[in-house]
Amino acid sequence: MSKTMEEYGDRKSMAITTAKRMAQFLGDDMIKDKGLACRYIVSRSPEGTPVTERAIPVEIFKAGAQVQDAYLRRWCSCSSLVQSSLDIR
């Protein structure tokens, strides 16, 4: 991201959603400066929501199983995720 989060204001994009979600599990210090690289995948759930709201930061797949499970359940609005079935391919 070429700007700080404050400079983007209320705009919506995949990178902004990804940055906000990264801040949820890595801390707000991660997104305070410009130059953040936002790598993401697009989830198919929750169905019926805009694509910008379905961006999942790739960094979550490097987190521990409990952290990964908790955030993926929240972001995908799915309580039936099974850790052993998670495969980003």
pLDDT at 87 over 60: no
State the pLDDT at residue 62.
87
State the pLDDT at residue 10.
79
Is residue 38 within 8 Å of residue 19, measured between CB atoms? yes
CA dist 43 and 39 (Å) reads 13
Mean pLDDT, all residues of the chain: 80
State the pLDDT at residue 56.
92
Share of the chain above pLDDT 90, in %: 4
pTM attached to this predicted model = 0.73
Domain boundaries along the sequence of the chain: 5-84
DSSP single-letter state for residue 12: -
Alpha-carbon torsion, ordered 64, 70, 73, 75, to 10 deg: -90
